[in-house]
Amino acid sequence: MKCTVCRGPAVIDLRRHNANFCADHFLRFCRDQVAKAIDRHEMLAPGDRVLVAVSGGKDSLALWDLLLELGYDAEGMTIGLGIGDYSEASTAAAVAFAEGRGLALHRIDLRGDYGYDIPTAAAVTRRVPCSSCGMSKRHLIDKAALDGGFDVVATGHNLDDEAAVLLGNVLHWQTEYLGRQAPVLPARDGFPRKVKPLVRLGERETAAYCVVRGIDYIVDECPMAEGNRHLRYKEALNAIEAGSPGTKHAFYFEFLDKAADRFRPEAAEAQEGLQACRSCGAPTTGELCAFCRLVDRVADAEPVPVELLRKGAGRNGRSGRRADAATGARGDT
């Protein structure tokens, strides 16, 4: 297998691009794809202060590294979710990356700063953990970006993520979410601009990028996400992609070109009537935002060890969770 560019030994084949690359040209390919995404979707302007949401996984560390390589002013932020060993290892990977390069990493710990963790939130709300986890992360990164004077939040969602979210949204024709699914969410009152510069790269590519760049990332998937719909949608798309390379790319980008606008009215409607949360000031449809409601509800609860929430465990195991939070459809990812 030879590099399509220089004919040297290739380290990776990319079937949807009908190309193979050596290590150097693969890194260049990744940078080019991110630069192209940033350019085409007008994600970042020169001089923007970027806050990168860093989990410690391949995507967020590759993203942070790539933005720095492309010359952007990018600081990191990581949130301790309290999901046992997984969270500890994730935070450690983020910290090691930042310290090794002398980068600024802002840290929040859900338990230390807000008195709860994700397993406890899932147990108390009786919803899938991904529900309170996603909401908490979105809220806290928005707040950190606004408080810190950042111009934009960058997240590590890759093509596989976006295609799987899109599949969930079309399987249930979630018209509001379809109208909002985009690689850029513009800033609005109380919300920072949010961008997804990795939308042109698949997760196999972000993993390979980290390997080639010598970035240590946490390889394990979150133990609480096991068997969720999002992963099932990824598997279904992977099976289709294997037979028809390029399907995921076409699915996502042709959606943006040819279909997304048709769903804008519902998304715009859903954004009307937002007001400031009376506790924290974040935009919300009610008096109190979802994050403050969650904190009110779970901050005093007895901590639930993550093991209790694994498959088939106890009264708050998967079987007891409410299904309505688990449609796998998503709006503001």
Q: Which is nearer to its own copies, 258 or 315 (CB)?
A: 258
Residue 317 to residue 320: CA distance in whole angstroms: 6
Cβ proximity to its own copies: between 6 and 250 the closer is: 250
Per-residue buried b or exposed e for 42-65, using 16+ beta carbons within 10 Å of the residue's own CB:
ebbeeebebbbbbbbbbbbbbbbb
The least distance separating its own copies from the CB of residue 67, rounded to whole angstroms, comes to 30
- Which is nearer to its own copies, 46 or 239 (by Cβ)? 239
Q: How far is the CB of 290 from its own copies (least distance, A)?
A: 24
Nearest to its own copies of 92, 250 (CB atom): 250
Nearer to its own copies, 6 or 236 (CB): 236
Residue number, 49 or 172, with CB nearest to its own copies = 172
Q: In angstroms, what is the minimal distance from the CB of 170 to its own copies?
A: 5
In angstroms, what is the minimal distance from the CB of 234 to its own copies? 11
For residue 2, report the phi and psi dihedrals to the nearest 5 degrees: -115, 150
Rounded to 5 degrees, φ, ψ at 13 are -110, 135
CA atoms of 163 and 214, how far apart (whole Å): 28
Minimum distance from CB of 298 to its own copies (Å)? 27
Residues 6+ apart with CB under 8 A from 58: 203, 206, 207, 209, 210, 215, 217, 219
Minimal distance in Å, beta carbon 257 to its own copies? 8
List the alpha helices (DSSP H) in the chain. Answer: 23-40, 58-69, 84-101, 118-125, 129-147, 159-171, 175-180, 203-213, 229-243, 247-258, 264-271, 290-298
Q: In whole angstroms, how far apart are CA 90 and each of 16, 166, 208, 332?
A: 31, 27, 18, 23
Q: Which is nearer to its own copies, 253 or 297 (CB)?
A: 253
CA separation for the pair 154, 192 (Å, rounded): 10
Least distance between its own copies and beta carbon 159 (Å): 14
**Closest C-alpha among 72, 76, 65, 79 to residue 43:** 72
Q: Which residues bind its own copies (CB under 8 A)?
A: 170-173, 175, 227, 229, 232-233, 235-237, 239-240, 243-244, 247, 250-251, 254-255, 257-259, 262-263
Residue 219: phi, psi to the nearest 5? -80, -35
